[in-house]
Chain A
Amino acid sequence: MGVVWETMHEMGIAASILDAVEKELGRYPGYRAAKIGVRIGEYAGVDMNSLQFCFEALVKDSPLAPLELGIEWRNGDELDLGSLELEEIAA
């Protein structure tokens, strides 16, 4: 991960989410990632709009496009990955 990703901390978080998706996707040949869920607490220090913006910016020109980000807002300080939705690639 380079300096650009880490400059804005939501960018670093978005990049970490994509890293996790890529790793998980490697275990499911023949599928593409459709949506990744994250749980974010109000005390996690993460701005939801900034994260969405950074995520879309990173995904747009990547092989993972058009991966969607599903944010579930919580009351605590969670910053956790939830479920990854995978779609079978048509033969």
Chain B
Amino acid sequence: MIEVPIEKKVLSENQRVAEGLRTSLAESGTLSLNFIGSPGAGKTAFLERTLASLPAGTKAAVLTGDLQTENDAQRLARYGYPVRQITTVGACHLDARMVEKHLEGWDAAALELLFIENVGNLVCPTSYDLGEDAKVVVLSVCEGEDKPLKYPGIFRKAELMILNKIDLLPHVPFKPDLAREYARRIHPEIDIIETSPVTGAGFDRWLAWLHARAARKSRTTVCAQEASNAFAGTGSR
């Protein structure tokens, strides 16, 4: 009997494709966000309101994943931005290859923002890197406050939690303070923004977060390019 160490990620092929995507999106300075939440958390409505609120001339695009139908792509396409549906035909998550395939033919280098709406699911999408800059978890007030405790993986990996549908708070027993406490118990540094796609509440804060995150990425890209140019310059001397 011999023992051979393999020592690599189980999803190494997905990781390889995701890193390729991340590199190419870094070169173009495109901020890519992967939205994950339960079915019915309001991810599509949130993105609809986001697209409607973006400053004119913003170069944004959306990939939206579902098991079946093109309904979400049709909804999102009304705002004048490029949108593609990824129909997974039963798969419970998007993977990096699906994203790569559905970006084909788009001038990704011209994009400032790429929104990826994952399949409605708080578990499986957590395992798959899509080459995004950040995961955003969407939790609605129609769910339990203890979702962060029940599904800690995604709340731990997400940079931002959108607490969605807050216009319904007068009608549901949801306690936002408790949800925030649970989310921070899992991930103390997570950003949390409360929003309502119906009333537009919280979208000023969300757009400010988006702007700041895009600017941070842009600075990183410029620094990386300057460092790369400096090294290239050093090498040519």
Contacts and interface: CB of A to CB of B under 8 A. Distances in A.
Interface of A: 3, 6-9, 12-13, 16-17, 19-20, 24, 28, 31, 34, 36, 38, 42-47, 77, 79-88
Contacts, number: 97
B70 to A, nearest CB: 18
B11 interface: yes
Interface of B: 1-13, 88-93, 95, 123-128, 152-154, 156-157
B9 A87 contact: no
A45 B91 contact: no
Contacts of B123: 9, 45, 47
Given A13-B11, A45-B126, A77-B156, A7 B4 contact: no
A86 B1 CA distance: 6
Contacts of A8: 92
Given A20-B8, A31-B2, A9 B93 contact: yes
Contacts of A43: 126, 152-153, 156-157
A3 B90 contact: yes
Contact of A80 (B2, B7, B153, B156): B7
Given A43-B153, A44-B127, A77-B156, A7 B91 contact: yes
